[in-house]
């Protein structure tokens, strides 16, 4: 019934309009920068920012005003969320103040995201410029500290503009604005990925029959990963509960629909982002070093494409998966909430025993979720090594998890809005 709902159509058109405006920023390039040289760096795989470039839909390699996209806001949100864990008492107080506290936290997150955007822009411009002998700038450009500050301010303003668009989408469009911005960037990079595959395996290597098999094999692998991601992202472990003050006749045919659902991948894509960010910091710093031996050692240890770095990458994903899962789902708090509602798990005593049960279940579920995240994160690295894929091609990875997750939530929201209209029409 969503097709006949005018409000949904207006929201969809509003979302499409603002996503188009965001995408238009891709073509507005930052001044003083040699765009062709930057694109060459990204296409050759020499840059360590390819992971972020996929999220921005190529805006980073194009060095546009929206090059940083929504990335600084995501980092700021994670930092603020972690600081609420009794690290900064005032933030914990705000988190318990309801809507007023939520507004304060959102405002602080915006300010922090702009500060991080400035730092990231400064690091990006200085890092590339120093690493490649000031080849970032065009001929005749005065290379002074003010030049870097000016470019950083321009890129920070672009991030502020993207945040404003995301808020408008959240308020008047469909879905979460931040998520929709990320998905728009990822989907925008898909045509270039397919084009690079065609160029390498069909046009350039079309004479060899093996290249054709590789092309279709990579496409098939993408499809299988999408199916697997959809299955895991929708999977839940439902823990049945009963209410002490609810009569048995309230259940239909002796069965109760009351349960506590826990997603199989309760940590979502955050552990992979954490691990990727932590792994990228040493390699970013190594670009400022002049010692070639030190650079090589750092690359071997912290590059996910190298054996040692790959193992460290997977370990970090597991560690962050358990950390974030237990941060998102607090077994003690869940047990306390059930006790306040006069609810209990059949066969489990309320209180500490219920909290212990939730902890055991969450540990087992997180083990499966962490394994799933590790496989999805490892597939692009392994596939790139086996098939010698272009740097722009990401077979699987976090991008697919985000796209699938946002698509599922958007469909749920559309379904909820259409059902609300049906209910109102029935009552009226």
- Can you give the CATH number for the domain in which 60 is found? 1.10.3370.10
Any domain includes 77: yes
Q: In the predicted model, is pLDDT for residue 49 greater than 60?
A: no
How many whole angstroms separate alpha carbon 300 and alpha carbon 176? Answer: 38
Q: In the predicted model, is pLDDT for residue 314 greater than 80?
A: yes
Any domain includes 249: no
How does pLDDT run across 105-123, given as a tens digit for each residue?
888 999 999 999 998 888 8
Report the mean per-residue pLDDT for the chain: 78
Any domain includes 81: yes
Q: In the predicted model, is pLDDT for residue 323 greater than 60?
A: yes
Query: Would the CA dihedral through 59, 64, 69, 75 be positive or negative?
Result: positive
The residue range of the domain holding 57 is 1-190
Question: 39, 192 in Cβ contact below 8 A?
Answer: no
The pTM of this model reads 0.76
How many whole angstroms separate alpha carbon 365 and alpha carbon 361? Answer: 6
Provide the token pair at 359: 């902890």
Alpha helices in 388-396 (DSSP H): none
Any domain includes 416: no
Question: 5, 27 in Cβ contact below 8 A?
Answer: no
Any domain includes 182: yes
Any domain includes 237: no
Higher local confidence (pLDDT), 99 or 149: 149
Any domain includes 133: yes
Any domain includes 424: no
pLDDT at position 118 is: 92
- Name the domain count of the chain: 1
pLDDT at position 46 is: 46
């Amino acid at each position: 019934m969503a097709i006949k709902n005018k409000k949904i159509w207006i929201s969809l058109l509003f979302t499409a309009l603002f996503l188009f405006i965001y995408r238009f920023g891709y073509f507005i390039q930052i001044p003083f920068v040699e765009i062709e040289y930057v694109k060459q760096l990204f296409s050759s795989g020499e840059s360590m920012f390819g992971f972020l470039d996929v999220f921005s839909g190529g805006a980073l390699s194009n060095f546009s005003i929206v090059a940083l996209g929504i990335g600084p806001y995501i980092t700021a949100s994670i930092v603020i969320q972690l600081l609420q864990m009794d690290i900064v008492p005032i933030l914990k107080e705000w988190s318990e103040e309801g809507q007023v506290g939520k507004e304060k936290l959102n405002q602080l997150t915006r300010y922090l995201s702009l500060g991080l955007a400035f730092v990231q822009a400064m690091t990006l411009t200085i890092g590339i410029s120093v690493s490649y002998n000031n080849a970032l700038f065009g001929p005749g450009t005065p290379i002074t500290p003010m030049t870097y500050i000016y470019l950083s301010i321009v890129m920070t303003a672009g991030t502020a503009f993207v945040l404003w668009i995301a808020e408008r989408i959240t308020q008047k469009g469909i879905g979460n604005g931040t998520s929709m911005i990320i998905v728009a960037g990822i989907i925008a990079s898909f045509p270039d990925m397919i084009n690079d595959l065609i160029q390498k395996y069909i046009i350039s290597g079309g004479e060899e029959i093996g290249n054709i098999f590789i092309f279709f094999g990579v496409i098939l692998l993408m499809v299988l990963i999408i199916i697997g991601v959809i299955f895991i992202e929708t999977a839940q472990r439902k823990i049945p509960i009963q209410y002490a003050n609810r009569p048995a006749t309230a259940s239909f045919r002796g069965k109760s629909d009351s349960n506590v659902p826990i997603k199989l991948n309760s940590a979502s894509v955050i552990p992979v982002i954490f691990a990727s960010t932590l792994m990228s910091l040493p390699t970013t710093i190594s670009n400022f070093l002049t010692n070639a031996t030190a650079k090589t050692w750092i690359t071997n240890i912290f590059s996910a494409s190298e054996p040692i770095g790959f193992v460290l990458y997977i370990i970090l994903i597991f560690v962050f998966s358990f950390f974030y899962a237990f941060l998102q789902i607090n077994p003690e708090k869940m047990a306390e909430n059930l006790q306040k509602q006069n609810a209990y798990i059949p066969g489990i005593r309320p209180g500490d025993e219920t909290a212990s049960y939730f902890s055991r279940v969450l540990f087992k579920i997180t083990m499966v979720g962490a394994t799933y995240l590790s496989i999805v994160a490892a597939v692009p690295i392994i596939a790139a090594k086996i098939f010698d894929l272009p740097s722009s091609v990401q077979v699987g990875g976090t991008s697919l998890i985000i796209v699938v997750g946002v698509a599922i939530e958007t469909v749920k929201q559309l379904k909820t809005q259409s059902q609300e209209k049906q209910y109102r029409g029935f009552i009226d």
